[in-house]
Amino acid sequence: MIFALRPSERSGRPTLWIPLVRRIREPFKGMWALPGGPLTHSESLQDAASRNLQETTGLAPSYLEQLYAFGGLHRSPTQRVVSIVYWALVQPTEAALADESENVRWFRADRLGGLAFDHNAIIDYALWRLRNKMAYGSIAYHLLGEYFTLAQVREVYEAVLDRELDPANFRRQVKATPEIEETDQYLQGGKHRPPRLYRFTGRPGLDPDNRSTP
């Protein structure tokens, strides 16, 4: 499952979006579902996740991590299925390249209908984990491009945590993390003082090899 930031239709502020695919066969034919597919004998779990993502949506995420293995008995009405779910964060530029069609569409993460299988529960869990990781680790930057302003980082936090944060205090905290690097560039074009651009210099977090944050 993939998270990306897109501007909300009304406010224009960034919000969380998820691409879903329409099922073209039973069970749940015609309903929306998370992209996915089988694991072959010659690929690792992560490779399989990447490949399935690429095939269904064309996306190549910058952040990909195992979410959870779901293996309840009645997840599918026809057969026993164990799904090892991965979750990804993609940057806006990547997300814009995603193939969208009759059977692939982006939805707001907080406004989903009933999905196939137990996919609503999976998304709920992924959202919970995203919020959790956000509170501690430095994961928000994978939803942004290479250069960003501190206000953009704050908007990511506000979108995911769904509450407003004090700009001055937030800036103080972010500037205290060593992985954030100040650049000499400024973002022009706003109708106000141009903000400085920053960069994230930390490494991703590919469980369980790269263990940076809880």
Give the interface with DNA as residue ranges (CB under 7 A): 149-151, 166-169, 171-173, 175, 186, 188, 190-196
Binding residue for its own copies, selected from 62, 66, 103, 120, defined by CB under 8 A: 66
Q: Are 186 and 194 in contact (CB under 8 A)?
A: yes
What are the DSSP E strand ranges found in 13-114?
14-22, 32-33, 63-70, 83-89, 104-108
Interaction with its own copies in 117-146: which residues (CB under 8 A)? Answer: 121, 125, 128, 132-133, 135-136
Q: Tell me how far apart the alpha carbons of residues 189 and 207 are, in angstroms, rounded to a whole number.
A: 39
CB of 172 to DNA, least distance (A): 7
Residue 84 in the binding site for its own copies (CB under 8 A) = yes
Q: Which lies closer to DNA via its Cβ, residue 108 or residue 196?
A: 196
- SS3 track for 90-148: CCHHHHHCCCCECCEEEEECCCCCCCCCCHHHHHHHHHHHHHHHHHHCCCHHHHCCCEE
Residue count, binding to its own copies (CB under 8 A): 26
> If you ran DSSP here, which 8-state letter would residue 11 be given?
T
Q: Which lies closer to its own copies via its Cβ, residue 80 or residue 175?
A: 80
Residue 167's binding partner out of DNA, its own copies, none, with CB under 5 to 8 Å set by partner kind: DNA
Tokens of 130: 């995203």
Residue 71 in the binding site for its own copies (CB under 8 A) = yes
Interaction with its own copies in 151-190: which residues (CB under 8 A)? Answer: none
Place of tokens 């299988």: 117
Binding site for its own copies (CB under 8 A): 39, 41-45, 66, 68-69, 71-73, 80, 82, 84, 121, 125, 128, 132-133, 135-136, 207-208, 211, 214
